[in-house]
A and B are shown apart, each in its own frame.
Chain A
Amino acid sequence: MIARGSWKWVAIAAIGLAVVLVLPRAGVPPFYVSLLTQTWIYAIVAMSLDLLVGFTGLVSFAQSAFFGAGAYGVAIAATRYAHTDFLTGILIGLLAGAFVAAIFGLVALRAEGVGFIIITIALNQIMWGLAYQWVSMSGGDNGITGFIRPKVGPFDVSGNAGFYYVCLAFLVLMLALLVAITRSPFGLVLRGVRETPRRMRALGYNVWLYRYLAMLIAGGIAGVAGVLFAWYNQFVGPGDLDLTLSTQLLIIVILGGIGTLYGQILGAAIVVFLSNGLSAVTQRWELVLGAIYFIIVMYAPDGLMGLGKRIVRRIQGKRAAAPLIENQLLGVTGDES
Chain B
Amino acid sequence: MGAAFYVQNLLGGLAYGSLLFLIASGFTLIFGLMRIINLAQTAFYLIGAYVGLTLITHHFNFWLSGLAGGVATALLGFALYSLFLHRYHADHLTSLLLTLGFTLMLDDSVLAIWGGDPHSISPPHELSASLQFGRLVFPSYWLALIFVSLGIAAVLFVFMQRTKLGMIIRAAVDDEEMTRGLGVDVNRAFYVVFTAGALLAGLGGLLGGPITAAYPGLDGELTPLAFAVVIVGGMGSLSGALVGSMLIGLVNAFGKALFPEFSYFTIFVPVALIMALRPGGLFGRTQ
Contact = CB atoms under 8 A, between A and B. Distances in A.
Given A110-B276, A286-B107, A287-B109, A294 B101 contact: yes
Contact of B92 (A122, A286, A293, A330): A330
Instruction: Specify which of A129, A254, A324 lies most central, judged by the most chain B CB atoms within 10 Å of its CB.
Output: A129
Given A119-B231, A122-B231, A293 B97 contact: yes
Contacts of A117: 37, 92-93, 96
B91 A326 contact: yes
Interface in A250-290: 250-251, 254, 284, 286-287, 289-290
A107 B272 contact: yes
Interface string B253-287: 00000000111110110011001100100000001
Interface residues of A, number: 48
Contact of B93 (A59, A119, A126, A128): A59
A284 B108 CA distance: 7
A126 B227 CA distance: 10
B167 interface: no
A134 interface: yes
B98 interface: yes
A293 B221 CA distance: 22
A130 B101 contact: no
Interface in B18-69: 35, 37, 39
A118 interface: yes
Nearest to A59: B93
A132 B262 CA distance: 10
A286 B231 contact: no
Overall SS of chain B's interface: helix
B10 interface: no
Given A110-B279, A297-B97, A325-B93, A129 B227 contact: no
Nearest to B93: A325
Contacts, number: 138
B112 A133 contact: no
A129 B231 contact: no
B223 interface: yes
Contact of A121 (B35, B227, B287): B227
Given A111-B287, A117-B96, A293-B104, A129 B37 contact: no
Interface residues of B, number: 46
B145 to A, nearest CB: 23
B275 A291 contact: no
A118 B99 CA distance: 14
B40 to A, nearest CB: 11
B105 interface: yes
Nearest to A301: B94
B206 interface: no
Contact of A324 (B91, B102, B109, B279): B91
B100 A247 contact: yes
A329 interface: yes
B51 to A, nearest CB: 18
Given A110-B279, A119-B275, A284 B94 contact: no
B108 A325 contact: no
A293 B39 CA distance: 15
Contacts of B111: 286
Given A107-B276, A118-B230, A330 B93 contact: yes
Contacts of B203: none
Interface in B179-230: 220-221, 223-224, 227-228, 230
Nearest to B265: A130
Given A125-B264, A126-B224, A293-B97, A114 B91 contact: no
Nearest to B260: A133
Contact of B84 (A242, A244, A298): A298
A136 interface: yes
Interface string A302-337: 000000000000000000000011100110000001
A107 B109 contact: no
B90 interface: yes
A157 B92 CA distance: 43
B94 A326 contact: yes
Contact of A133 (B88, B100, B228, B261): B261
A136 B268 CA distance: 20
B226 to A, nearest CB: 9
B282 to A, nearest CB: 15
A122 B227 contact: yes
Contacts of A132: 264
The 8 closest A-B pairs by CB, nearest first: A129-B264, A290-B104, A125-B224, A290-B105, A294-B101, A122-B227, A286-B108, A287-B108
6 contacts: A117-B96, A119-B231, A122-B271, A129-B265, A326-B91, A326-B94
Interface of B: 35, 37, 39, 84, 88, 90-94, 96-98, 100-105, 107-109, 111-112, 220-221, 223-224, 227-228, 230-231, 235, 261-265, 267-268, 271-272, 275-276, 279, 287
Given A119-B275, A243-B220, 15 more contacts: A115-B235, A122-B224, A125-B224, A125-B227, A125-B264, A126-B267, A128-B224, A130-B264, A243-B223, A286-B104, A287-B105, A291-B101, A297-B97, A297-B101, A326-B91
